[in-house]
Amino acid sequence: MNDDLTPDDTGSDEASAAGVQGEEAALTDGGSGSNRHAHKGFSSKIGFVLAAAGSAVGLGNLWRFPYLAAKYGGGIFLLCYIALAVTFGFCLLVLEIALGRKSGKGVIGAFAALNKKFKWFGFICLAVPIIIVPYYGVIGGWVTRYIFGFVAGDGLLVGETATVETSAAFFAEFTANPWQPLVFFLIFAALTILVVVFGVQKGIERISKILMPVLAVLAVFLMIYVLCQPGALAGVQKLFVPNFADFTYETLLAALGQLFYSMSLAMGIMITYGSYMKKDASVSKCARQISICDTCFAIVAATIIIPSIFAFSPDPEATAAASGPSLMFVQLPAVFNNIPGGRWIGTVFFVLVFFAALTSSISLVETIVSVLRDNCKLSRLMSCLVVFGLMLALGSLSSLGFGPLNMIKIGDMDILSIFDYFSNSILMPIVAIGTCLIAGFFSDTKSLMDEIGIRKKGYSYYFKIMIRYVAPLCMTAILISGIFLKL
């Protein structure tokens, strides 16, 4: 395999594709080769699995999962999450990967290939990464700032004088500043785009093969370190011992919502990555490996965060209940500060979050880039520049929403939260429902099953019932609860 460090498909795609074994999968379409991506796919099965797992493992695993687990009863939440992951989550993941691989196209082409009448639905699906990636980049910028804060030993974050109040002041001061967050956002966005410019094999696959093992080592190291601290066991107990009395339908809904957030479903990513997958790899085997990897990371992250809160926070329940940015950027730094060697533990933790966010952000950008290349016939470089411009425009709005634009609010939601709410609570459930219904009722399900590799009759019935009825019903429950209960 020709593997030098030049972008792998920025120029003439067909020319650069010629003679390279690895892209065959993306160039062949059941032998016709005419209407698939004209550019390279992943060179190997492991490359695909690591890239898709890199997309799935992100901010969702590192702060959203631990916070939800703490809020919704620990062990019982974990149990619901795992049960839903192997049933509902797995089916949706398999479906999206198969849609991508079957069509060999980005989201718009994939829906058109499913049924010409539903090409328009691809645009709705595309809206999700367009809305998410700018504000995801802003949060990535915050994480970058925190790495510098811990390395430099900033007095508000680390040291004897640092407390929850000082880290809250650090966060508020930093995010309210009009320029600083923009600079760090720019760094994060530029890094994301740089990887995508290098292409699927030499950018995304290469970085995922390096970063995913690094992520695993960092996470396991942090987990062992935290578990060795006195008092950590109370947190482990909270997380792993289910108390059935804590079960409510909210536990189930929260686990369901987290699942499709965490597995990067309903945002076109798995369709896009599936379109780059080799034809000889098994869709269901790969999906199994991706979901195992994603769930393990979520559990390890929760085993880092919850026990450290229980061991070191003066008020563990209140700290664990802190949601969103407050948990990661305010409470956790104060917790790390009480752990021996906290400055370096904090540094390692934020480096971990940074890498996880980077691989997710890359997948969101690639989803948009693949459409620009397929449908607008732009080069990879040009497509990346368009997405970069879009990220800067929308991301700056989100970032300034904490400073000069803080008067723009809907209810108590700032600009970033408005984007987050609209994409995650409204658009994503709609996309998931639509995907299941279009695939289940308005497409050739037989060829979809073949793509997945489903041969047994029982499994085929199970899969059909899941995507036609169970998944749309579950997603409707999430949509309704998102709108009315703001869960």
- Closer CB to ligand PFF, residue 182 or residue 298? 298
- Give me the least distance between CB of 455 and ligand PFF, in Å please: 30
- Give me the least distance between CB of 107 and ligand PFF, in Å please: 15
Is residue 331 involved in binding ligand PFF (CB under 6 A)?
A: no
- Give me the least distance between CB of 427 and ligand PFF, in Å please: 10
Applying CB under 6 A, among 136, 225, 329, 349 the residue interacting with ligand PFF is 136
Q: Is 51 within 8 Å of 42 (Cβ atoms)? A: yes
Q: State both tokens at 258.
A: 């987290």
Applying CB under 6 A, among 51, 56, 94, 439 the residue interacting with ligand PFF is 56
Measure CA 220 to chain center: 20
- Give me the least distance between CB of 136 and ligand PFF, in Å please: 5
* Closest to 223 (Cα-Cα) out of 336, 304, 305: 304
Is residue 262 involved in binding ligand PFF (CB under 6 A)?
A: yes
Is residue 443 involved in binding ligand PFF (CB under 6 A)?
A: no
Q: Is 361 within 8 Å of 192 (Cβ atoms)? A: yes
- Euclidean distance between CA atoms 479 and 486, whole angstroms: 9
Is residue 43 involved in binding ligand PFF (CB under 6 A)?
A: no
Please work out the total of residues on this chain that contact ligand PFF, with binding judged by CB under 6 A: 12
Site for ligand PFF in 242-261 (CB under 6 A): 261
Is residue 17 involved in binding ligand PFF (CB under 6 A)?
A: no
- Give me the least distance between CB of 282 and ligand PFF, in Å please: 22
Structure-derived torsion over alpha carbons of residues 51, 59, 424, 137, reported in degrees to the nearest 10: -80
- Closer CB to ligand PFF, residue 132 or residue 207? 132
- Closer CB to ligand PFF, residue 132 or residue 304? 132
Between the two ends of the chain, the Cα-to-Cα distance in Å is 48
Q: DSSP code of 423?
A: I
Residues 6+ apart with CB under 8 A from 409: none
* Closest to 273 (Cα-Cα) out of 91, 47, 62, 437: 47
What 3-state DSSP class applies to 243? coil
Is residue 59 involved in binding ligand PFF (CB under 6 A)?
A: yes
Is residue 360 involved in binding ligand PFF (CB under 6 A)?
A: yes
Q: Is 211 within 8 Å of 58 (Cβ atoms)? A: no
Helices and strands (H and E) in the chain: how many: 27, 0
- Give me the least distance between CB of 103 and ligand PFF, in Å please: 22
- Give me the least distance between CB of 450 and ligand PFF, in Å please: 28
Is residue 264 involved in binding ligand PFF (CB under 6 A)?
A: yes
Is residue 435 involved in binding ligand PFF (CB under 6 A)?
A: no
Q: Is 209 within 8 Å of 47 (Cβ atoms)? A: yes
Identify the bridge partners of residue 410 per DSSP, sorted by sequence position.
413
Q: State both tokens at 211.
A: 């970063």
- Closer CB to ligand PFF, residue 100 or residue 342? 100
Answer positive or negative: Cα dihedral of 28, 199, 351, 172.
Answer: negative
Strands (E), 15-119: none
Applying CB under 6 A, among 192, 208, 424, 443 the residue interacting with ligand PFF is 424
- Give me the least distance between CB of 121 and ligand PFF, in Å please: 19
- Euclidean distance between CA atoms 115 and 105, whole angstroms: 13
The region of 14-22, 53-61, 236-244, 310-318 touching ligand PFF under the rule CB under 6 A is: 53-61
Q: Which one-letter amino acid corresponds to residue 38?
A: A
- Euclidean distance between CA atoms 350 and 216, whole angstroms: 14
Is residue 132 involved in binding ligand PFF (CB under 6 A)?
A: yes
What 3-state DSSP class applies to 233? helix
Applying CB under 6 A, among 58, 316, 342, 429 the residue interacting with ligand PFF is 58
The region of 28-36, 54-62, 145-153, 332-340 touching ligand PFF under the rule CB under 6 A is: 54-62
Site for ligand PFF in 366-405 (CB under 6 A): none
- Give me the least distance between CB of 358 and ligand PFF, in Å please: 11
- Closer CB to ligand PFF, residue 308 or residue 360? 360
Residues that bind ligand PFF (CB under 6 A): 56, 58-61, 132, 136, 261-262, 264, 360, 424
